[in-house]
Structure 1
Amino acid sequence: MANINENYEEDERESCSANGQKVKKKNIIRHILLAIFSSIMAFPFLWMVVSALKTKDEIFITPLKFFPAVPQWKNFIDAWNSTPFGLYIFNSAFTSLVIVAIQVINSAMIAYAITQLKFKGKKILFGIVMGTYMLPAAATYLPSYVILSKFNLIDTLTGIIISNAVSVFGIFLIRQAFLQIKKEMIEAAMIDGASHWKILWQIMFPLTKSSFTTFSLISFVSNYNNYLWPSLIIKDPSKYLITIGLRQFFIQQGAYGIKWPQVMAASTFTILPLLILFFIAQKWFMSGIADSGVKG
């Protein structure tokens, strides 16, 4: 009997050891694949930063040499001083923050109405809202331009903000997060006399904070990088967004690529706000992607 038990325990140890080795191999393979894909994704950014530290000859004559012989830090200074990038970054950051704030508020209110209120045509309303998401953005440019022109909002930052005040993606994302909140919790709050406004911002918002953070980051990056629509309605250089300013720098100062080191330097410091923002909020961003806002 003792021999049988010893053999059984030995088999268990061997089985656990074999399973452990399989898990380790899978983890090693997974990390290797992640490292490869991460390197591929990060390479364009690294190439841009390294090119900003090169001379023009090092970029064109010796393109296979990845690192510069002597880092040319003055390329960043020359690019910054040649164009008011500080103003352009401020315009983009300001409009993006205001747009995100408006989108968060109206997306939360619409999502709350769709998930918590009872009224006729609720499903039809949600279907219409989601149907607009299928429209290409370019199809809305002409009617939006006409509307803004009637309100004298062409060539203004206010026009950019108002024309981007609603996000269908935000409505959908927040709605999905709200659907995961237990109805018993909302009913208990209503029994206690809580108003819809209080339920939305003091109960539902804290429970779905990671989804709001995820949407805010995605919206901010999207609006910060927006080029085509702002370029159609903004003509005053003092109101240029960073995307328009970078384009103008490439055409005028960069002379269509003659000053590639300065162009790469300008491209590098224009995306720094996005990198800083992501590193600060990456914890909440990943949490929102993983659980859609609510756990349990």
Structure 2
Amino acid sequence: MRVGSMIVRPLHHVILAAFSFIMAFPFIWMITSAFKTNDEIWAYPPVLLPDKLLWENISKAWHAAPFDLYVFNSVFVSVCIVLIQTVNSAMMAYALVHMRFPLGRPLLAIILVSYMLPGAATYLPGYIILSNLGLIDTYGGLIISNSVSVFTIFMIYQAFRQIPREVVEAAKIDGAPHRRILWTMVIPLTAPYFVVTGLITFIEMYNNYLWPSLITHNPDLYLVSAGLRSFFIEGGAYGMNWAQVMAASSFTILPLLILFIFAQKFIMKGVSQSYGVNKG
């Protein structure tokens, strides 16, 4: 048994390391290509590391377009959406789980059915509503149009269901209002799930391209994805300079990497708790 374990465990680690490298290789290639020349990027056979690190690619790419504005727009809009979605989803999930009202189950069914709709089906009515409200080409349009997420509601709903109902009922008997139970008891007990859903939402909104491109035409409101395409692909000015394209792509994902570094502890805790509940 020990001999088999000594063979299987290293093999297991080798397989996991191989799959991890395969998943990380596009990012490694992007970062190393940011310091290459165009000839090195297109060289055959491919070369992973450049002969000389061309740091000027980073500087040239940063000054070629207002990427500081694009990163600010993406971070600002994403943070606002995460905060609004968190509050909305927490209140909605608490009402569905710990409050009794006649239309509770039909409302939950409507939410689940709406999650099955393709996002593209809401673009036209959403655009018309924002246009009538005068929110096209505004930060408010970008934020309000994403202020409610069925996915976030469902995830928080599942998290709240794991809290014993007796705990909430005991708080109600002691005279605690629903607002206090939600913010001082239920949310702290499910904090890792909020971190995970918030991180997922932030990444989704930060990388969002199609919908922001439809409702924003002012370059000062471009998010990172639209800015990258506008200045490096669509405009054609740097379309052939792939080293600067890779450089711009590398420093625009930096906020996501920083966010993951600080939130990975909560992510692992949330995943482990979810796994334990599903296993049980």
TM range (shorter): over 0.9
Q: How far does the alpha carbon of each residue in 1:218-272 deviate from its partner, in whole angstroms, 9 at most, with x for none?
A: 0000000000000011111111111111111213665463110000000000001
Partners of 1:72 and 1:177 in 2: CA distance? 48
Preserved contact between residue 53 and residue 68 of structure 1 (Cα < 8 Å): yes
Are the counterparts in 1 of residues 238 and 244 from structure 2 also a CA contact under 8 Å?
A: no
Contact 1:214/1:284, CA 8 A, preserved across alignment: yes
What is the number of residues matched between the two proteins? 278
Q: Choose from 113, 116, 134 the match for 2:116.
A: 134
**One-letter identity of the residue aligned with 1:185:** V
* 1:227 equivalent in alignment to 2:209: yes
Cα distance in 2, alignment partners of residues 188 and 294 from structure 1: 26
How many Å separate the matches in 1 of 2:224 and 2:16? 32
Question: For residue 64 of structure 1, what is the aligned residue in structure 2?
Answer: 46
Alignment of 1:281 onto 2:266: no
The equivalent of 1:7 in structure 2 is none
In structure 1, C-alpha distance between the alignment counterparts of 2:19 and 2:94, rounded to whole Å: 39
Structure 1 residue 27 displacement after superposition: 2.2
- Out of 193, 196, 215, which is 2:178 matched to? 196
Corresponding letter in the other structure for 1:110:
M
Residue aligned with 2:182, SS: helix
Q: Structure 1's 138 and 245: CA in aligned 2 closer, same or farther, altered over 3 A?
A: same
Q: Partners in 1 of 2:124 and 2:235 — Cα distance?
A: 31
What is the root-mean-square deviation in Å for CA atoms of aligned residues? 1.7
Any gaps of 5 or more consecutive residues in structure 2? none
Q: Secondary structure in 2 aligned to 1:211?
A: helix
Question: Could you tell me which residue of structure 2 aligns to residue 31 of structure 1?
Answer: 13
The counterpart of 1:48, out of the listed 13, 19, 30, is 30
1:97-117: CA deviation from partner (whole Å, max 9, x where unpaired): 000000000000000000001
CA contact 1:112–1:175 (8 Å) conserved in 2: yes
Structure whose CA Rg is larger: 1
Q: What is the TM-score when the length of structure 2 is the normalising length?
A: 0.95
Query: Aligned residues: percent identity?
Result: 54
Does the 8 A contact of 1:207 with 1:294 survive in 2? no
* CA displacement, residues 42-101 of structure 1 (integer Å, 9 cap, x when unaligned): 000000011111011111244512211111110000000110100100000000000000
Q: Would you say the 8 A contact 1:53–1:261 is kept in 2?
A: yes
Q: CA deviation at 1:29?
A: 2.2
Provide the C-alpha distance between the structure 2 equivalents of 1:42 and 1:114, rounded to a whole number of angstroms: 40
Residue 98 (structure 1) aligned to one of 69, 80, 92: 80
Q: Does 1:162 align with 2:144?
A: yes
1:171-186 equivalences under 5 Å are: 171-186=153-168
Aligned to 2:4: 22
Query: Matched residues in 1 for 2:5 and 2:143: separation?
Result: 51
Amino acid at match of 1:83: A
Tell me which moved more, 101-110 or 243-252: 243-252
Equivalent AA in structure 2 for residue 290 of structure 1? S
1:5 aligned residue: none
Between the aligned partners of 1:57 and 1:34, the Cα distance in structure 2 is 33
1:265 maps to 2:242 = no
Letter in 2 for 1:169: F
Q: Is the 8 A contact 2:80 2:143 kept in 1?
A: yes
Pair 1:114-2:102 in alignment: no
Cα distance in 2 between the residues matched to 1:23 and 1:281: 33
- Tell whether 2:226 aligns with 1:215: no
Q: Match of 1:164, SS?
A: coil
TM-score if structure 1 supplies the norm length?
A: 0.90
Query: Structure 1 stretches of 5 or more lacking a match?
Result: 1-17
Distance 1:90 1:77, change over 3 A: same
